[in-house]
Chain A
Amino acid sequence: MSAADETEATLDAFLRAVQRRALTAARLSVPREDALDCVQSAMFSFVRKYHGKPQEQWRPLFFRVLYNTLRDWHRRRAVRNAFAGVSTPEEPLEANSPQPDRWLAGGEAGARLLEELRRMPLRQQQAFILRHWEGLDTVATARAMGVSAGTVKTHLSRAVERLRAALETHYEPSA
């Protein structure tokens, strides 16, 4: 196998490993029909720009590209809405989805958490996903977000506080 084929196979394995998680992260921020487009666009940009980077940098770089794509989507929508005189909806984006997640019916607390994640600012959502779901350390999270480690900690702290508050009604401490 040539070096080029090996790189392609490694990239394929990497993208296969992150594609579902990327789509999940995107769906917290944009409607289902646009989430797939954003993930596809992020895959294209990542492969074109960063395939030559060391493999250990791929994950933070890929999520940086993805979140840049999502931020662009929000900017475009804000401009479009400003021209059309439409206010940005505050309700959860997935509420109007024709195919709600089946598992949500069985977990009210889980549904409440996802709703809170969707409602929080993109930066807080991004910090939480990268740090606590993707498992990046604070430095890698900061690199992926293009901010300082201190800013990551601030966003994380606010995100976790919102999640704790959202779960208050569901939490029954064991005796």
Chain B
Amino acid sequence: MSRLPEQRAIEFAAEALVRMADATDAQTEQALNSARRDALRGLDKTRTSAWLWATATAAVLALAVATIFLDGNGEDKTLLAQQPVADAELYRDMEFYLWLSEQLESE
């Protein structure tokens, strides 16, 4: 018995898939468009979070540089003594930024 050549089978199947995709009704198409727009809105949230993380990271770096500078001069031992307190406040700030981010996203 003769068999369908491999390439023809591939072409038939691909054609069947194209016809299935083309048969998508208007309601489904609308749902797909809506899903796409929702997904792209997620891109804005990703950007906002990235911006907040960048700000928080910059704040941590600035604090670290300031600490090293002051320690190097040996002038302000008080700040070194307060280091754990400063770190704790920084973490509270980060929590605040994250909370602020969630509030902005929910608006």
Contact = CB atoms under 8 A, between A and B. Distances in A.
B2 A171 contact: yes
Interface string B6-26: 101110111111011111110
Q: What is the interface of chain B mostly: helix, strand, loop, or mixed? A: helix
Interface of A: 4, 7-8, 11-12, 15-16, 19-21, 23-24, 27, 36, 39-40, 43-44, 46-48, 51, 99, 101-103, 107, 109-111, 113-114, 117, 128-129, 132-133, 160, 163-164, 167-168, 171, 173
Given A36-B35, A164-B6, A103 B23 contact: yes
B39 A43 contact: yes
B23 A102 contact: yes
A173 B19 CA distance: 23
Q: Which of B3, B12, B38, B47 has the most CB of A within 10 A?
A: B12
A16 B39 CA distance: 12
Contact of B40 (A11, A36, A99, A102): A11
A24 B32 CA distance: 12
Given A39-B32, A101-B23, A168 B39 contact: no
The 10 closest A-B pairs by CB, nearest first: A43-B39, A40-B35, A110-B16, A24-B21, A171-B4, A19-B32, A164-B9, A20-B21, A163-B9, A113-B16
